[in-house]
Structure 1
């Protein structure tokens, strides 16, 4: 049976840690500091999205990302001007796609599946990233959490993807490299595929993954 496959963008199709190139270049920082900034930025980005959803205080993901960057810079004592912060934020529009991303999308599309994106990113961010990463011509649709005015793992976001696909939620499958995202989609009633690149244990809260692979290409191996 063919499905609507809803790929997460950040950490699944594209590598969020590729912002390290911009951090290294713009801040002339040591590798140790670059790693700390990258880790804190991503952690706070996710934390702030969770908080916004729980507090019913939705803001576009670009604003959440900017606040997370500001926190990371403060945390590690890095002073920057507005222009430099803008350049760092723009790195989120130019993340590197994982090497097997395009091939995976194409194999699944050729097998009859609908290949889409379901992401917390706001529409402008996702459109720019998909274009810059060379993914836009390989996708049937991009769905942003902005359509539900909240963030994953709120069930409303997964429901929005099913509504856009005009299919029951059970005929849609989230594909994500983020275990918390898979747990949320599974709990909402969606089939899932967890791209567990790090060999990590699964989350203790939420639903279990329907499928677990160690690379994007493994999703195509199983479903195509």
Structure 2
């Protein structure tokens, strides 16, 4: 049971891989690069270069970084790929389905009085398109994007900004994500955290332990709403 004094009031949700299934995007990337394992490397490399830009005090939209990384990977495998073709291959990112557990879990949390918002590395227009397509717009009070900060998660300033935007203290917020680096960054910034153990995702062994380690959003909802 979650003690009342520890119960968060605001839940900030990562979007890609946490709420939305990346399978259509992965299939598109794998087809372009002619490698069924390419999508996973693309995602981690995109994260790497988003952090390179953050560390260098530069910023570009996630779709632009993603397309640039796809072009780099294509050159490494002798695949001819133009910038426009790279952007075309990434279009499925805006039309990803929600995992089956997501909507019922979000509805349960909202009904129990939790304030829900996204906190994503996607652009503002990107997250709006994603959440609209997945049919989740009515679940969220705010759709927050790192684009407003000009830095990418897991930079500490992103979490601090999100907390201020929601008008609460760090300890009242819980970051919910399927990425070990994301929950570690949020925990280091003073937020509560919940790790969603989607297939292929692991906690970072050197990071602080999350407050919750759950299989999906519905399980998290059941645990947070228990006794309330």
Assess same fold via TM > 0.5: yes
Counterpart-to-counterpart distance in 2, 1:82 and 1:175: 33
Q: CA deviation at 1:2?
A: 5.1
8 A Cα contact 2:196 2:213, kept in partner? yes
8 A Cα contact 1:117 1:142, kept in partner? yes
Instruction: Identify if the C-alpha distance between structure 1 residues 200 and 177 changes in structure 2 by more than 3 Å, giving closer, same or farther.
Output: closer
The one of 4, 7, 17 aligned to 2:13: 7
Structure 2 unaligned segments of length 5 or more: list them. 1-6
Q: CA deviation at 1:201?
A: 5.1
1:61-85 CA deviation, whole Å, 9 max, x = no partner? 2221111221232233322345432
Name the counterpart of 1:97: 98
Q: Which runs of 4+ in 1 moved over 4 A?
A: none
- Secondary structure of 1:15's counterpart equals coil
Counterpart-to-counterpart distance in 1, 2:200 and 2:37: 22
Q: CA deviation at 1:18?
A: 2.6
Name the counterpart of 1:138: 139
1:32-66 CA deviation, whole Å, 9 max, x = no partner? x1x22212211111111121122222222222111
Whether 1:160 and 2:161 are equivalent positions in the alignment is: yes
Name the counterpart of 2:3: none
TM-score between both structures, scaled by the size of structure 2:
0.88
Alignment of 1:7-26 (within 5 A): 7-23=13-29
CA RMSD of aligned residues (A): 2.0
Alignment size in residue pairs = 219
Name the counterpart of 1:84: 85
Structure 1 unaligned segments of length 5 or more: list them. none
TM-score between both structures, scaled by the size of structure 1:
0.89
